[in-house]
Amino acid sequence: MSGLSAPLGHFAPAHVMAGEEPPAPEVPRDLPPVGHQPGGRAHHGRPRNPLRRRHLAVVGSALAVTLVLIVFARALADASLTNERAALHRAENARLQERLTAGRREVELVKGEPFLRLQARAYGYGEPGERVFGLALGAPPPAGITPLGAQPPGAAEAPPLEAWLELLFGP
């Protein structure tokens, strides 16, 4: 260990240890000069990018796929809008069909004997012995009918304690 000039853990090449000059690097002789391309054309310092055409093809394919997707999405949106319109038209047709059916039932009712008798009474043609009556022109409207269990209009609601006392002991 005393004869080593390098610190521990550092290894030097053999020619340095022996104190000799380093060997000259070997240059392969079959390499073309710098800037020379096979076929005799130089590329003037710019390296030729062999992936350029491939990149253009990938970008072009991506654009084509994007355009196809956009066209497909537009067609899908149009189909969805058409389906919504068709549903609205079907609902409208069903509503109109119900009105038509109700109108036909009404026509059958109007053509029936009970309705004709009711209308005849309205014109004063009734059963023998009936007295014709009608309201005079300009007569006031009849009073409103209060449903059972409801308070008449204008009646004040009693406080809850008074309502219980009235219920228990009467008015």
Number of domains in the chain: 1
- Cα separation, 115 vs 110, in Å, equals 6
| Whole-number pLDDT of residue 44 | 56
* In-domain check, residue 77: yes
Query: Cα–chain-centroid distance for residue 56?
Result: 37
pLDDT in tens, the chain (171 residues): 445 555 555 566 666 667 777 777 776 667 666 655 555 555 555 556 667 888 889 999 999 999 999 999 999 999 999 999 999 999 999 999 999 999 999 999 999 999 988 888 877 787 777 777 777 888 998 888 888 877 776 667 778 888 888 888 887
What range does the domain containing 103 cover? 51-123
- Is residue 60 a part of any domain in this protein? yes
Domain membership of residue 12 (yes or no) is no
Contacts of 16 (CB under 8 A, 6+ apart): 22
103: in domain: yes
**Within a domain: 62:** yes
Q: Is the residue at 3 inside a domain?
A: no
